[in-house]
Amino acid sequence: GPAPALADAVIKGAAAGLGFATATFGINYLFAGRPLSLLLIDGAYNIVLLAAMGALHRISTGDEAAFAL
């Protein structure tokens, strides 16, 4: 089917960062006794990273409609 709009790709990437990466880090950080502030830093990094990856993947399709928000 057609590729999603850029905003959809960014939202889905951010959701993956929050739902998968940050949740996994959270479990590991709780077990290791690491501070919440470290989880927030690492979680935010992964959310931004995966959102950017979603945007780049969408833009790389070469479709001009990718820039429609």
Instruction: Tell me the per-residue pLDDT of 22-67, one tens digit each, with 9 for 90 and over.
Output: 999 999 999 999 999 999 999 999 999 999 999 998 888 766 555 5
First to last CA, the chain: 18
Contact present, 9 and 58 (Cβ < 8 Å): yes
- pLDDT for 19: 94
How many whole angstroms separate alpha carbon 56 and alpha carbon 58?
Answer: 5
Contact present, 50 and 21 (Cβ < 8 Å): yes
How many whole angstroms separate alpha carbon 9 and alpha carbon 26?
Answer: 24
- pLDDT for 61: 77
Length of the chain: 69
